[in-house]
Amino acid sequence: MEANKIEFFRTKAKSIRYQLLQMLYEQKAGHIPSCYSMLDFLTVLFYGPHIRFEKGNPGFSNRDKLIISKGHAAMALYPIFADLDYFDSNELKKFTQPGGLLGLYADYRVPGIEGISGSLGHGIGMATGFILSDRMDKIKRDVYVVIGDGECYEGSIWEAAIFAAAHKLHEMKVILDRNELCILGKTEELVALGDLQAKWSAFGWNVIAIDGHDYSAVDKALLESKSCITKPTIIIANTTKGKGISFMEGNASWHNKIPTQDLFERAFAELSQEEAI
Amino acid sequence: MALMRDAFIDELFEQAKADKKIIFISADFGAAALDKFREELSEQFIHAGISEQNMVDMGAGFAISGKKPVLYAMAPFLLHRAYEQIKSVVSAMNLPVTFVSVGCGLGYDHATFTHFTPEDVAIAKCLSHMEVWTCSDSVIAAELSRHVMKLPKLRYIRLERNFMPDLELVDCQKTLTEGFRDFGKINAKTCIVSSGYLTHKAIKVMKSHPELDVSVVDLIRIKPLSNQLITRLNSCKKIITLEEQLLEGGIGSGIIEALSDKGMLADKKIKRMGLLDGFDVFNGDRDYLHESYGLSEKALEQVLLE
């Protein structure tokens, strides 16, 4: 990938990280590390662009769909949606506030949100309904679903995985945010998820494993996923929870914590450094 | 006379031929009528696998996309196995998904522990937006199929597993609008409220006691209860509710709550007949189970004569 494109993604991702940190710090609510682990691949997805959308028109009939199935991190979409003119950017300041549009979890009434998420394990199943309905209506679109690795503990994930593979739902593009942390610690130390690449492959999926913070690798994987027309695709994005803020990176205890003013300022300073991302 | 599931699906088949938005999804549960549906409308039928959770999330995806999904499974598993999916996705978004279950209550008599469904009314009722319907014969099942597909909403429809003789249906529109039908003397001072299989037993007991001033209400829409039903019951001095549900959250408790909300409880004697918390499980057919649980015709007679 050209250097200027990488710089473009880096600048965009940094801007979104700033906005999220500000938004969550001001309202003292949210999940910063869960958002930050997926922010780099979300940036490439939207600003590549790989996902089809129309600026200012969240209901665009030919849009690709996206579900953040790890719904506690759906707030990562809000600065992006504001940038796409899906709603007034002033809404970001009213995050979780009475009268505000944007809540802590994915609310289907927010323009751009395709369905509720917040409890884990629903996104792929909902996407199977979207895709089969589209096929009946002869609509061609891809449906992207972002799941967490902790979410892979849910049995419904694997029910959906069997179904999607059996029906060869190649329109399904799942991105697995493999940050290796859940609330109480490291997945591999608590209840080991094991070789997820082998598991999804055994379930009949096209599996691509990448560094989820490498813009070039994400870009390539998303392109590659489009060329697979026989199977659903899962991109296993190996990521770092809290990426970009040193004291949050890989630290499970920050899952739903909001920094104090001192730490907020430190985080802000770290994000300003070019090397941070 | 047909099985309720065949009557319901046959009618659905006729509608689905004209309405391609109707999608029938089964969690590996069948019916003779479904064989025809699967063959002739294969594009509108989906086998979900024995995966109720995914079936519900998929149904939500269809509903969000403008389709009219009908989710079909055995009563013990349809809501229970996927309750969080229904609560967090379907109910939360008030999606027009129709849930159809077969074998509610003690319908799977010999199957015992795992297949009894003595709480499906309670768990369905407390889901926001969810309507709860139950059928006592195949005619009502067919009419209900037509009725609900005219305006799909979030609904749970309970069908009996076995053959039931068809009961008299005088005014279909009124019955479905008001959610109940009357048998016997409408002005009787005592009324037995029941549904499904037990409605048939209640009618039998009523007919065997012409000397008693008693009527039977066949409750078809359990939630919401209609104002007409509450007004109708307000004319009674004694109400007996008869059900194969645990008393906690069942039909009887719903009737008492509705009467209480209207300030109509004070002058009435109400007896709830149903399963008691901690009920034991026995081998035996449905009638034997009714005897064991105090729900037999004889037990009902005794309560009537008290």
The first and second tokens of residue A265, run together, are 């300022």
CB contact under 8 A, A162 and B49: yes
Chain A CB contacts of B92 below 8 Å: 116
Question: Of the residues B127, B159, B191, which one is the last residue of a structural domain?
Answer: B159
The first and second tokens of residue B183, run together, are 């048998």
What percent of chain B is modeled with pLDDT above 70? 100
Tell me: do B8 and B155 sit in the same domain. Answer: yes
Structural domain of B19: 4-159
Tell me if B174 is assigned to some domain: no
Tell me: do B223 and B274 sit in the same domain. Answer: yes
Query: Which H, E and C letters describe B163-231, residue by residue?
Result: CCCCCCCCCHHHHHHHCEEEEECCCCCEEEEECHHHHHHHHHHHHCCCCCCEEEEEECEEECCCHHHHH
Tell me: do B208 and B149 sit in the same domain. Answer: no
Tell me: do B204 and B133 sit in the same domain. Answer: no
Report in angstroms the alpha-carbon separations of B112 from A138, B5, B27, B146: 46, 21, 21, 33
What pLDDT, on a 0 to 100 scale, did the predictor assign at position A38? 98
Question: Of the residues B95, B126, B159, which one is the last residue of a structural domain?
Answer: B159
Tell me: do B141 and B199 sit in the same domain. Answer: no
What pLDDT, on a 0 to 100 scale, did the predictor assign at position A1? 83
Q: What is the CATH number of the domain that holds A210?
A: 3.40.50.970
Query: Considering just the CA atoms, what is the radius of gyration of chain B in Å?
Result: 19
Domain count, chain B: 2
Tell me: do B114 and B191 sit in the same domain. Answer: no
Domain count, chain A: 1
Q: What is the CATH number of the domain that holds B249?
A: 3.40.50.920
Tell me if B244 is assigned to some domain: yes
Tell me: do B127 and B31 sit in the same domain. Answer: yes
CB proximity list for B249: less than 8 A, separation 6 or greater:
B119, B121, B122, B123, B125, B126
Tell me if B167 is assigned to some domain: no
- Whether the link from the prior residue into B224 is cis, omega within 30° of 0, is yes
Tell me if B172 is assigned to some domain: no
Q: What is the ipTM of this complex?
A: 0.96
Tell me: do B100 and B230 sit in the same domain. Answer: no
Query: pLDDT below 50 — which residues of chain A?
Result: 276-277
Tell me if B173 is assigned to some domain: no
CB contact under 8 A, B57 and A122: yes
What pLDDT, on a 0 to 100 scale, did the predictor assign at position A277? 41
Q: B22 with A90: CB under 8 angstroms?
A: no
What are the two backbone dihedrals, phi and then psi, of residue A156, each rounded to the nearest 5 degrees?
-65, -25
Interface test with A, best of B54, B67, B94, B129 (most A CBs within 10 A): B54
Tell me: do B155 and B183 sit in the same domain. Answer: no
CB proximity list for B262: less than 8 A, separation 6 or greater:
B230, B234
The answer to whether A160 contacts chain B (CB < 8 Å) is yes
Per residue in A185-244, pLDDT (tens digit) is 999 999 999 999 999 999 999 999 999 999 999 999 999 999 999 999 999 999 999 999
Question: Of the residues B159, B190, B212, which one is the last residue of a structural domain?
Answer: B159
Nearest to B84 among A119, A134, A159 (CB): A119
CB proximity list for B200: less than 8 A, separation 6 or greater:
B136, B164, B165, B167
What pLDDT, on a 0 to 100 scale, did the predictor assign at position A246? 97
The stretch B35-53 carries a mean pLDDT of 98
Tell me: do B135 and B49 sit in the same domain. Answer: yes
Tell me: do B85 and B154 sit in the same domain. Answer: yes
Tell me if B164 is assigned to some domain: no
Q: What is the CATH number of the domain that holds B36?
A: 3.40.50.970
Per residue in B261-274, pLDDT (tens digit) is 999 999 999 999 99
Cα end-to-end span (Å), chain B: 36
What is the rounded distance in angstroms from the CA atom of residue A245 to the CA atom of residue A226? 33
Q: Which of residues 110-139 of A touch B (CB under 8 A)?
A: 114-116, 118-119, 121-122, 124-134, 136-137
Chain B CB contacts of A166 below 8 Å: 49
Tell me if B171 is assigned to some domain: no
Structural domain of A53: 3-276
Percent helix, strand, coil in chain B (nearest 5)?
40, 20, 35
Chain B CB contacts of A130 below 8 Å: 61, 64-65
What pLDDT, on a 0 to 100 scale, did the predictor assign at position B70? 98
Mean pLDDT, all residues of chain B: 97
Residue B246 has pLDDT above 70, yes or no: yes
In Å, how far is A65's CA from the nearest CA of chain B? 11
Q: Which of residues 10-39 of A touch B (CB under 8 A)?
A: none
Distance of CA B158 to the CA centre of its chain: 4
Q: Chain A residue closest to B66 (CA)?
A: A133
Tell me: do B18 and B107 sit in the same domain. Answer: yes
Interface test with A, best of B46, B65, B68, B83 (most A CBs within 10 A): B65
